[in-house]
Amino acid sequence: MSEIPNVESPLSHMKEPPVYSCQTSAERIVTDPIPNPKIPDPALQSQSLGGTAAPGGTGSPGDSAAGRSSGDTIVGRVVVERGLATPDEVDKCRELLKRLPPGSRLSDILIQKEVITRRQFARVQRELESARPQQAIPGYQIKGKLGAGAMAEVFLAKQLSLDRLVAIKILPQKFSNDPKFIERFYKEGRAAAKLNDQHIVGALDVGQAGERHYFVMEYVDGETVHDRILRKRRIAEKESIQIVIQVAKALKHAHQMGFIHRDIKPKNIMINKAEVVKLADLGLARALSDLKEAEAEAGKAFGTPYYISPEQAKGKTDIGPAADIYGLGATFYHMVTGKVPFEGKTSTEVMQRQIRDPLVPPDHVVAELSSGVALIIEMMMAKDPRDRYQSAAQLLEDLESSYDDHDPIHARPSHSLVSSLANSSTQDDSSPTAVRQFEGATSSIPWKMLFIGGLLLVSLLGNLLFFLLRH
């Protein structure tokens, strides 16, 4: 059995920003904790920070609607995060707000509809005010905190020179004098700056103001795939394909530029109001050519257990684009089934299952799922990287073909899956861990089984004919 390398204890539960990761890769072995296993859907336990704001996330805050949107976005998220309102209550109040004249505020509607009290809103205001960084960042006006994590805080800000909203990630002061943390913080910014694709959150600036190190990025006004799964429970097949197509385009660009992401998961996939998908958080991104860093990370399992590839879970050094395809496949699986591919009570248990357990086919979880999409997901999540799609471009061809209701071009049963089938002849076919035989993959059906089936059919017909002749 393959062993999990030494893994640091999972991070404690914490409130995460809805669309921006606040962690850097510094000493981050497991990026998300394993939630309470007693709750049915373990990957959905992080609390949602509420609905989305009005359109125009990159628009001008000088416009009354856009300016109102930025403040209301933060208020809506905070009242949900603090348990003062549900996402549905906030969304209903936002709908009412759209019909009111400029100058109206979400807080007024929340109070008027008795969702929150004036005293509760005053407390929220004080909290938002205290959350502003004490040290100003030249050229930016901080509007409020979007979220905070163990390794960074993210703020919504107005870029004064261009009069637009941006997101600013700030390295906490306790790390501001640690050269290792500072270098990795800037490394994320430099990696993002080298990638220029509409489906990747854009990097705008990195710098230092006093003792504060900051990273300015594009502000995406919307939700994450994680938020959407929380809201819908399961995302429709066509909608899921469209999302995954856009992420695959982002990966195609990143891989062509020589970078692997290494942490593809629902929380790092953002969707704006126009349904444009953007890949976020390059905190674990690594240049394929950086062999020195690869060797330094040997034996460490960087990633998120529910979506980590087997080779990452083993702490291997030769991590390539196939690891990102696996993570996207695990995310795709979660989207269309409403369940993570592998569950467990600890990070180690989940990663062991990623390494050794056969995948429950997604169309065994959701019967109405098309066989083409199921086949694509299973190829994306093959245990052996050589059995997966060899490029994001290949994957895109199959996704687009499947979206148009055609059969996949490249998807085929992996060697590891076929081997699992051959070794599971004594396993009950109804078992949820049984690996299905792919529709249309006749080469994976042993010819001996077909021959024996034919003999049985001939025998049955012969017995039936004998019975009829006697009577």
Cα–Cα dist 77/267, whole Å: 16
Mean pLDDT by 10 residues, the chain (471 residues): 44 37 41 44 37 32 45 78 84 88 86 88 72 72 80 89 94 84 87 92 91 91 93 96 98 94 94 95 72 59 89 88 97 98 94 96 96 97 96 97 94 61 43 30 40 52 50 49
Check: pTM over 0.75? Answer yes or no. no
Element (H, E) at 468: helix 447-470
Q: What DSSP assignment string belongs to 349-383? A: HHHHHHHHSPPPPHHHHSTTS-HHHHHHHHHHT-S
pLDDT of residue 26: 32
Tokens for 51, please give them: 């609905």
Tokens for 337, please give them: 């089934």
Element (H, E) at 439: none
Cα–Cα dist 106/128, whole Å: 15
Alpha-carbon dihedral sign for residues 376, 379, 381, 385: negative
Element (H, E) at 49: none
Residues whose CB falls within 8 Å of the CB of residue 3, separated by 6 or more in sequence, listed in order: 314
To 10 degrees, the CA torsion angle through 188, 189, 192, 194?
Answer: -110
Active-site amino acid positions: 263
- In three-state secondary structure terms, 445 is coil
Cα–Cα dist 71/107, whole Å: 10
The terminus-to-terminus CA distance of the chain in angstroms comes to 60
pLDDT of residue 219: 94
Long-range contacts of residues 81-85, Cβ cutoff 8 Å, at least 24 apart: 81/15, 81/47, 81/49, 81/50, 82/124, 84/115, 84/116, 84/120, 84/124, 85/50, 85/110, 85/115, 85/116
Cα–Cα dist 265/329, whole Å: 9
pLDDT of residue 39: 35
Tokens for 377, please give them: 């997901």
pLDDT of residue 425: 42
pLDDT of residue 216: 95
Q: Which residue has the tokens 């700056």?
A: 193
Residues whose CB falls within 8 Å of the CB of residue 406, separated by 6 or more in sequence, listed in order: 372
